[in-house]
Structure 1
């Protein structure tokens, strides 16, 4: 009897694992994973890993392009030992190969210190698209919180 219980539990665990894998492979789940990976790269001071998730034709506020964004992140990585990027809940909307992710952001510098010239919160809205089966951000706009 014990052997049957173990087999049943093993089969049940295998089925649950497959269901979890299928659920995490949805376009929204993959987008959220890409977002998390990019956020972790910023916090780890790894601008090269972050920029992999940015489209080559990226456009941000005031005409910021991909190269300028990469340079900005590299400069921040050199001047701050760590950058914390704390986000509020993500508001994700997926429509086929396009998506929008909106969130509130608080930037901090290691040990909870606030970056002097960027103190405060931001409301960020990003536009994403699937490029070669990977989500990449191609547009971003942000507004300083009030």
Structure 2
């Protein structure tokens, strides 16, 4: 009887170890698959920025901008926040509709171009609307894409 128990233990240890190794390998494979590709992470960051603008979230907007952000006419990160705050105070409802994005990723840098329709108002119909052609620069830092530059041209 003792022999059977020892044999069972001796057999079960390699099986148990093999099961653990298989489980660890599977977890590593699944963990590797769950990482998002740089382009998808960039699209997600752009979507979060859009959501921050529509929900009038100044902190979310600022979080999307790199510390060294530069916009038109020397607009910096603080200036972008101030510009957004003015718009949020002026318009109760802010709408941001983005067209298809053209993304060019070069290592940890990217350029994203798209059209954007911005609306603002306080009722069912917007009080103001403007279409822009937008070109933005982004940098991937610690797995998070942050906007480093932006330029826009009115199209209507």
Give the structure-1-normalised TM-score: 0.78
Partner of residue 127 from structure 1, selected from 111, 117, 137: 137
Q: CA RMSD in A?
A: 1.9
Q: Distance in 2 between matches of 1:85 and 1:127?
A: 19
Q: 1:114 to 1:91 in 2, by over 3 A?
A: farther
Match of 1:63 among 74, 93, 102: 74
Correspondence for 1:42 among 49, 53, 59: 53
Matches within 5 A, 1:2-17: none
Quote the Cα distance in structure 2 between the aligned partners of 1:24 and 1:91: 22
Aligned length: 125
- Structure 1: which 4+ aligned runs deviate by more than 4 Å? none
Unaligned regions of 5+ residues in structure 1, if any? 1-17
How do 1:1-146 residues align onto structure 2 when only pairs under 5 Å count? 22=33, 25-110=36-121, 111-115=124-128, 119-146=129-156
State the shift of 1:120 in Å: 2.5
Any unmatched runs of 5+ in structure 2? 1-29
Q: Which structure has the greater CA radius of gyration?
A: 2
